[in-house]
Amino acid sequence: MGILDNVNAVVAGVKKVREVAQKIHDANLQSAIADLVLSVADLKTEMADLRDENLKLRAQVEDLKKKADIRTKVVYRAGLYYLTEPVQGYPEGPFCPVCMDSEGLLITVRVRTSKFGRSWNCGHCRKHAAK
């Protein structure tokens, strides 16, 4: 049984106690139970918020692990990054050094060779360089 299930069980129990208190007609008991119901509702809301935050943090951790793993599989060569071993969904390269160094992203760049030399353009960060 999870924590949320336990809180739901507490809510159900408090509702039963409130029904009994209403039959007794004890105003102090009814007030205390009403306060308890509000506290449990606040707890339930806070738990839902924490669950959402936990899911977001887990996703961020996975993203950081993936970026760290990718960093071990690239090599910097001639001003660009290239994969040293395959990564599913990505070509061998070349990849933007700006995006990799700043965000850990494998963004393929367009390399052009002309009589003036070699240049590359990144469609993600809009950076470019000539070699």
Burial class (CB in 10 A: 0-12, 13-18, 19+), 40: middle
pLDDT for 12-27, tens place per residue?
887 888 788 777 877 8
Q: Enumerate the domain spans of the chain.
A: 3-68, 73-130
pLDDT for 43-91, tens place per residue?
888 988 999 999 999 999 999 998 888 899 999 998 899 999 988 888 9
pTM for the whole structure: 0.59
Structure tokens that stand for 46 in this block: 């806070």
